[in-house]
Structures are given as C-alpha cells and as structure tokens.
A and B are shown apart, each in its own frame.
Chain A
Amino acid sequence: MKTIIRNVAFGLLGASVAAASVAGPAEDRAAFQKFYENRFPDTPVDDFKNGVYSILPAAREQWESIEEFPPYELAIERGEEIYNKTFANGKSLKDCFGEDGAVRSEYPHWNKERGMVMTMELAVNECLEANGEKPLKYKKGAMADVTAYMSYNSRGQMVNVEIPADDPRALAAYENGKEHFYTKRGQLNFACADCHMHTAGMMYRADTTSPAFGHATSWPVFRSKWQAMGTLHRRFAGCHNNIRANPYKAQGEEYRNLEYFVTYMSNGLEFNGPAARK
C-alpha cells in the first residue's frame, strides 16, 4: 500500500516538473535538478555524475574496485593510436581537436550556421571525412575508443551546455529532446522519465534505475553486459529496445536533440568519462 501511495506522489511531482517547463530551459533545469536532490538527499550533488552508483551504496564498493583496474583502459590506448594516426593527406585528428583532444565540454552544442545540434561523435566523423578518411560506426568500436581517449583527457571539465536565446531553432531542438524524454512510447508504454525520474532508484528485477541527472557525463562506457565499449546513443537505443520501441538512428536528429536536452539538464556536473557500468 505504501508503494502505491509513493508512486502516485512521484507521478504528480513529475507532472509538476514537466509543467514548470513553460517557463524555459533554465527553470526546467533548476526544477529537474531539485527533483533529484530531494529524492536522493544522501547523494552529494556533484556525485550524480556517477550514474546509478551515486544512489546505490551497496553496489558502489564493487564498482570502485572495478574502476581501480578500469576495463576501458585498453580502449583509451586504442583511442590514442587512432587519435595520433596520420591520415593519407598527412593530417590527423589533432588538426581538428588539438594536441590531446580535450574538447569534451564543447559538446553537444548548437551550431547556428547549420541549424543543428553538434555532438562529439559527429564532429569526429566530419573531421575524418573532410580529410578523405572513412567515417566510423557510431555505437561501438573505434568511435567509442577514440572518444574514450578524448573524454579521458577532458576529465574534470564542466558540463555547460547553452541554449542560445538568439536562435529559436535551438530552443526548438531542446524542446524536441525534452518532449522525447517525457513521452511514453513503445509497446510497453514507457517514457525515459518513467524509469529515470519517477521510478529512479527503484528495482526492475535486479536493476536499479539511475537518476537522469548525470546521464550524459560519463561516456563512452565499458558495460559488463556488452563486454565492450559503447556510446551514449548505443545506450539510448538499448533502452528503446527494452521497452519494445523502435530505436532511432545513432547521431540522427532525434537522438542528438535528446542528448542536447539530457546534457543540458546535467549542467554544473563534471564530465568524468569513460566509465565502467554493469
């Protein structure tokens, strides 16, 4: 009985968070972050960057011991090689992203000239293609490796996504991502918010769902279930599969806008990728 009451109460809270949005992104973000701070009062705010481990003391110890011998270490090494490799035209990724590729906090951002959200993965491929190289696949493999290297060198940078006020299309992209986050979809009828907001911290079988505050800080991740690295859009697609919804294309407009929204919601946290996850 207690659980029922709790669920209804959180449902209403979620609705009020969504409704508060009329006021604009800054107010959305304040309400969003407040929601998680109230719900998980024992979690220091800057710790939400650690995903589900920020709210699960029981699993945290094991995770910390995994992070001591990180399963993504090899990916960083492979990524470094890719990053430094000379292209056929004599250039390299360094010509696009600097000596060490520590550009994580520049993405995602609104590109006004092109009227679209730019992500780090998209920028990597555009750099490759502009130099006559073959683009990489977006969900795993070399793309996850090279962004693991770049994220690693960017650790400690702050999430600070902007929604420029002088371009209504940026706000529209944000609103599109936000709507995606709160809209139920798929045969199982779930919104991202159902699992990662209204029932965040509860158990689906043996899986506790993480707060969405902090969702975009730690990528790419090495996931035990994958036994490999994966990008944020790979994870989006995985969650869509779980609710029997058709996943969208990695780096297509829908997922880029969703990334724009969830990353903006985490403004003020640190980027700390790559990371290990269950």
Chain B
Amino acid sequence: MKGQLLTAILAASLLTPVASADTIEKGKQIAWDRKKGNCLTCHMFEGGQQTGNVGPPMVAMKARFPERKALVEYIKDPTKRNPMTAMPPFGRNKILTEQEINLVVDYLYTL
C-alpha cells in the first residue's frame, strides 16, 4: 500500500511541477503580503478582508488559465495583454522574483 502511494506521488510530481501544501502556503503569504504581491488591493480572494474590486475576483483559476506558463507570464507582465491595465508588471518591474511568482501561481491554482 505504502509503496503504491509513494509511486503515485512520484508519478504525479513528474507530470506537474510540485505544488505542495508548503509552497501553496508560501504563495498565499506572498500574494497577501502588502509589501509583496498585495493582490488583495485589487482582487477578491476567498477569506480575504477589505479586498478591492479593481480587478476580477480570483476564482476558478485553472479554468481561466489551463496553461501554467500563460499564468506565470501574465503576472510577470500583464501590460503585454493590455498596455492600459492597472495591474502592475510584477516580474518586469522586479516587484516579485520569478520564484515568488511561481509560488503565487501554486496558490492561485487552489482557487
């Protein structure tokens, strides 16, 4: 039993980049931290207090961004899709590192 489970986990982790409870929690902290992502300024997140409404609510992220790379790229520089957007270019302007953006995406995919 144990061996099977282990194999299953290993197989899953080979297929998708590993999002663990740990990276998801870290991603959430980065997204919520006012000095980091501060995403709640503009987006509604489940469980968030005093969330803004400048951007759309963060729900059903897998359905909206089936491709992980597209979501990462979007957060790095949303002005590529809409030059007028109010959303900051988190990667291009070095507000978050590549690694931090990936952690945020792990978290977003749980929403």
Distance in angstroms between the alpha carbons of A70 and B74 in the assembled complex: 47
Min CB gap B106→A, angstroms: 23
Query: Using Cβ atoms and an 8 Å threshold, which residues of chain A touch B88?
Result: 187-190
Q: Would A188 and B52 be within 8 Å (CB), given that A11-B84, A14-B84, A194-B86 are in contact?
A: no
Question: What's the dominant secondary structure at chain B's contact region?
Answer: loop
Select which of B52, B79, B82, B85 is within 8 A of A202 by beta carbon. B52
Min CB gap A64→B, angstroms: 24
Distance in angstroms between the alpha carbons of A188 and B95 in the assembled complex: 8
Number of A-B contacts (CB under 8 A): 54
How large, as a class, is the contact surface on chain B?
20 to 34
Select which of B53, B84, B93, B95 is within 8 A of A203 by beta carbon. B53
Min CB gap B48→A, angstroms: 10
Query: Using Cβ atoms and an 8 Å threshold, which residues of chain B touch A195?
Result: 86
**Is B40 in contact with chain A by the CB < 8 A criterion?**
yes
10 contacts between A and B (CB under 8 A): A7-B54, A8-B82, A11-B82, A187-B94, A187-B95, A189-B88, A189-B89, A189-B93, A190-B88, A203-B53
Q: Which residues of B are in contact with A by a Cβ distance under 8 Å?
A: 40-42, 50-57, 79, 82, 84-86, 88-89, 93-95
Closest 8 CB pairs of A and B: A11-B84, A203-B52, A188-B88, A3-B56, A206-B50, A204-B52, A194-B86, A202-B54
